[in-house]
Amino acid sequence: MKSRIRAGLIIETMESAGNMPRIKQTVEKKNACTVTTVTIDNDEDAKKLNKEKGTYITVETERVYEITDGDFETIVDALAAAIRSLMPEKRGRVLVAGIGSRAVTADSLGPKCVDRIIVTRGFEKVMPQAIEKGDFSGVSAICPNVFGVTGVESAELINGVCAMIEPSLVIAVDAMATTSLTRLCKTVQLSNTSLIPGGGLDNARRAISPHGVDARLLSIGMPTVIEAKDFLKGAGVERDLDEPMIVTPARIDSATDAAAKLIAFSINRALHRNMTTDDILRFLY
């Protein structure tokens, strides 16, 4: 039976592919998280892995809804540093897009993240000096919703908005799928490659790509679902199932809330200079 899950995490793809000595990989332990950076820079390796050439950064944690306040700061710092490393030197305007559906908890990561983004494009008129000095980026944020609800591809909406506001950076946030129980709701991946909504569940929509948005693209996601057979395998049970079934944690609402906060606060910190967690909370609430 063909699996409905496709590995979205580069570290899972590489584990399946075996030894690939030309691919650059570094692993760094940072207190509450482990940061793995993988760079694919040649066409042959990209084809073998069925991935685009680019840089992939994964930040692995314990369950995102169980971290302490101190660990939260450590992980946000690690994610913000990863975001900065993938941003253009001169970033201009930034568009943050939350991909997914609020109506499906496991698919709500993107919209929940956008709820916590500090939108500052209005500063271009009321506080232009803050933008010019680089203290703030000119940030816009949208939630395109899913094709089944709108009849419009997320990529079409994002490309249309980009044509109007001309950002230099687009950050797309979406839920992912995993084939590893140990990484479910524990790993955040960032890359400067395209994002395919629904790609992890064989429901691929039109890709959100750097070419389409005509800007640097940063894709961010966390796996929120796993196929039942992989879940059982991770628990030490080998069993064939009559139909593909998708599993999410019982606390998926807490998991998507916590991950959305981690990712959004990291984006805010990366885009707006010297912004602390207290500063972000004052802006949002």
Domain of 121, CATH number, reads 3.40.50.1450
> Which amino acid appears at position 261 of this protein?
K
pLDDT band, residue 249 (cuts 50/70/90): very high
What pairing do the DSSP bridges indicate for beta strands 187-191 and 216-227? antiparallel
Tokens standing for 220? 């961010």
- Spatial distance between the Cα atoms of 207 and 73, rounded to a whole number of angstroms: 32
- Spatial distance between the Cα atoms of 121 and 9, rounded to a whole number of angstroms: 32
Q: Measured on CA atoms in the order 146, 151, 153, 156, is the torsion positive or negative?
A: negative
> How far is the first Cα of the chain from the last one, in angstroms, to the nearest whole number?
49
Q: Are 168 and 216 in contact (CB under 8 A)?
A: yes
Tokens standing for 102? 């609020």
Q: What is the pLDDT of residues 220-230, one digit of tens each?
A: 999 999 988 88
Structural domain boundaries enclosing 104: 10-284
Per-residue confidence (pLDDT) for residue 31, from 0 to 100: 86
40 in any annotated domain: yes
Q: Are 161 and 142 in contact (CB under 8 A)?
A: yes
- Spatial distance between the Cα atoms of 186 and 61, rounded to a whole number of angstroms: 5
Q: Are 141 and 119 in contact (CB under 8 A)?
A: yes
pLDDT band, residue 160 (cuts 50/70/90): very high
Per-residue confidence (pLDDT) for residue 248, from 0 to 100: 93
Q: What is the pLDDT of residues 69-81, one digit of tens each?
A: 889 999 999 999 9
247: enclosing H helix or E strand: strand 246-247
DSSP 23: S
Neighbours of 246 (CB within 10 A): 16
3 state SS of 191 = strand
Greater pLDDT, 262 or 89? 262
Per-residue confidence (pLDDT) for residue 244, from 0 to 100: 79
229 in any annotated domain: yes
- Spatial distance between the Cα atoms of 254 and 212, rounded to a whole number of angstroms: 33
**In this model, does residue 91 exceed pLDDT 90?**
no
What pairing do the DSSP bridges indicate for beta strands 24-30 and 169-178? unpaired
5 in any annotated domain: no
- Spatial distance between the Cα atoms of 208 and 196, rounded to a whole number of angstroms: 6
Q: What is the pLDDT of residues 7-25, one digit of tens each?
A: 589 999 988 887 788 898 9
Q: Measured on CA atoms in the order 172, 92, 114, 191, is the torsion positive or negative?
A: positive
2 in any annotated domain: no
- Spatial distance between the Cα atoms of 209 and 97, rounded to a whole number of angstroms: 13
pTM over 0.95: no
Our count of domains for the chain comes to 1
**In this model, does residue 259 exceed pLDDT 80?**
yes
